Chains A and B, each alone.
Chain A
Amino acid sequence: MIVYLWFVFGFFIAFSIVHSGLLVLAAIELRRYAARSSAATLRRALRSPLAPAIAVLVPAFNEASGIADSVRSLLALDYPKIEVVVINDGSTDGTLARLTEVFDLRPVRRPTPPYLPHRPVRGIYAPRSRLPLLVIDKENGGKADSLNAGLNFASSPLACSVDADSILEQDALAKTALPFIEDPGRTLVTAGMIRIANGCRIDRGRILEVHPPSSRFAMFQVVEYLRAFFGIRTGWAAINALLIVSGAFGLFRRDAVIAAGGYRTDTVGEDFELVVRLHRTWRDARQPYRIVYVPDPVCWTEAPEKARYLRRQRRRWHRGCLETLLIHRRMLMNPRYRAVGLVALPAMLLFEVLGPVIELSGYVVSTAALLAGRLSMVGFLLFLALALLYGLLLTLGGIALEDASVNPRASWMDLRRALLFALGESLGYRQLMIVWRLEGVWQLIRKSGWRAMERKGFS
């Protein structure tokens, strides 16, 4: 028992070292970003005739209530060359009718490009006006399938995937496109910051006032997102080893995604899998590339507030993570893939996939050791304190980095709540997440494989 607890202790230390390293890298990266970014650079890029056009891909499944506002706010974004492509994924709630009514759509003929396979298209619609909007009505096939259809029909060199219920800040697209303007030959993907919109005042697809959420679950996720985006993702991006570009907001070179084969429809973690595959494809081809995290442009998204939705989300995320690691297992510890193969993927396997098992077993074994008299009460409490403090430290790192970022949204009230929830996160929330993530693994094993995924959309 004690030997196992030493192993768990070693795991905590390894975790702390890797994540502290990421925090340091993130701090350096944020500093570098702050030194490069300026309003003048952004304005100049926006006015340049060399700015690449962007297709904003909006997969929509039963989004009738909010789709019109979402599309309207996307069409009004500050970017000179934009086309919005809504992919209606077999909605049954009148999403298409709502779009037709609001944007005065008419059926148009468009040949189906054979780049990426997807479920059959039932019709294509465009507004009678000159709005840069295209609506693809297709049979239900899930989010990945819809994005593939969007990639096929879009005509712009860059494609941005956005969830139908997400809200982009006015200049988010421009800021995310900047790395493509600065280094068009090597930039494959840029990712932006995701923030939780629960609690904010929203009107017609725009954030009017930012407030922290009142729901406890949503607030825990605010703390999680701060840590994940400011600390971890920025850190990985600093060594060109960013593995996750959220499906809610990511900008891709369209030809690169098509060349890599588009989104896989047989995994629930299609966004993670695509980014890993892009790393793999470009490394295999020995072509220089970069996948950039831009810590400033913000996409607001609604976080699940009810336990059953959060549970479903976490199970899906964890399953997607495991599926991707299985698909790309050859990259693990393979020097050909440099930082991705040698550091980022092993860290993902160790801390994200095996981490919940090790942590949970640590709680069980330490309790058993206490009951069996092999561990003193002081030792047991120290063990729990260790588990609590390492999580708290990481979250504080994320908060500190946000304060040092280009556009801090700091207030005393937010800090008080964030500190409170950072503490509370280690006293129950994290343990709950561990259980749900393990359920994701169990789901994967029980369903005997990841090839036969149910296709029910992604509302």
Chain B
Amino acid sequence: MRSVLAVTVAGLALAVVLLTTLIIVVRGRVVRRRRHEAGLGPAAEQLLAQFLVGRPRVPPVAGPDERTALLRAALEALADLRGSERARLVELLKQLGYARQAVSELTARRRAVRRQAAEMLAAMAGPHTVPALTAGLADRDVLVRMTCTRILAEVGGEEIVPLVVAAAGRDVLIAPGAAAAVVLALGRRWPAALAPLLGPGTPPELRAIAITVVGELRLVQHAPALLEGLDDSDIIAAGAARGLGLIGDTGAARALGRLALDEHRSPSARAEAATALGSIGDRAEIHVLERLIATADWPVQAAAARALARLGPPGMAALHRAAARSSQPQVRELAEAAGQS
């Protein structure tokens, strides 16, 4: 036993020594790098500030570390800048060769470098970056692809839209959040381009995202597509109902009422429909909301009570009528709470 123990202990001791050495080396590098950056960062920020307040000449950038520090400061600034200041800073980065660098790094072997390059191009986004971004759509890495797709949606011309739609559809299962950001960008710039994504032929995941985006951006022209969505699966119907409520489409009130009353649908879809009825404000549907108060599903009841409260005195009267009829104490609680709000 002694020899086995001795070998194991010796092995562990060696591992401890090696790991301690590694930690000391790595920590040394981290501390040095941090100290170095602490000096370069403020200097780079000062250079950029001087440039932006009117010093016309290009700031001098000495070594690679200074270049990196300037780029970092510029990317931070670009996130907050708008208008002519942003345009000037992008122009400066182009003059200093950063745009060229990003374009060339977008085809680098290392994934991390390509991701960084895509983010750089995203920050400097403009028509000049379109060819490189289009090439980035074929990247092996989904994050690089999706970043390029999103920026193309933001800065590309109308001819690029089919490519963007196809790319979002291809990656929606792998990167749903990134695909949502693409659809959002598309909806903001090319609202009409969302039409093919809202039809039943689109993958349900992408369709659900498109429906949410239409509602969030209040894209009235797509209200008929949302109306169709009310007959789809519960997830899509809930999103469509929410969207119709945000848009305030009075023409959708009857369909929303039908969805809210349909006991075969999920409580969340029915609750969204009831909430939308309150947002739309069509008093003709008060009787629907009054019936919903008697339902057994709490989310639907609560949504209906809130919706009735939004419909003013006739809605409140209906809510109190429903509460008086109901034997459920929670309905009275709902009516009292709605009365206070």
Contact = CB atoms under 8 A, between A and B. Distances in A.
B1 interface: yes
B9 A403 contact: no
Nearest to B331: A111
Interface stretch (A179-187, A234-242, A291-299, A322-330): A179-187
A50 B2 contact: no
A115 B299 CA distance: 10
A393 B20 CA distance: 9
B195 interface: no
B160 interface: no
Contacts of B9: 382, 385-386, 389
Contacts of B180: 48, 50, 181
A139 to B, nearest CB: 18
A112 B1 CA distance: 66
Contact of B2 (A6, A34, A376, A415): A376
Contacts of B111: 35
Nearest to A16: B12
B108 interface: no
Contacts of A185: 176, 205
B49 interface: no
A115 B297 CA distance: 11
A36 interface: yes
A110 B112 CA distance: 50
A59 interface: no
Interface string A21-61: 00000000000001110111101110011100000000000
A50 B176 contact: no
Interface string B59-75: 00000000000000001
Interface in A89-144: 108-115
A410 B16 contact: no
Contacts of A412: 27, 31
B133 interface: no
Interface stretch (B87-95, B162-170, B221-229, B333-341): B333-341
Interface residues of A, number: 55
Interface string B156-179: 000000000000000000011110
Nearest to A397: B19
A254 B181 CA distance: 23
Interface in B131-146: 143
Given A43-B79, A393-B12, A393-B16, A35 B115 contact: yes
Contacts of A13: 8
Contact of A35 (B6, B112, B205): B112
Nearest to B301: A111
A184 B12 contact: no
A114 B331 CA distance: 12
A310 interface: no
Contacts of A403: 23, 26-27, 30
30 contacts: A2-B1, A9-B1, A16-B12, A36-B115, A39-B76, A45-B177, A50-B180, A50-B184, A50-B212, A108-B337, A109-B339, A109-B340, A110-B337, A111-B333, A111-B337, A181-B177, A181-B180, A379-B1, A379-B5, A382-B5, A382-B6, A382-B9, A383-B5, A385-B12, A386-B9, A389-B12, A389-B13, A389-B16, A403-B30, A415-B24
Given A376-B2, A399-B23, A415-B23, 12 more contacts: A6-B1, A34-B112, A35-B112, A36-B143, A40-B123, A108-B337, A108-B340, A112-B330, A183-B177, A386-B5, A396-B16, A419-B20
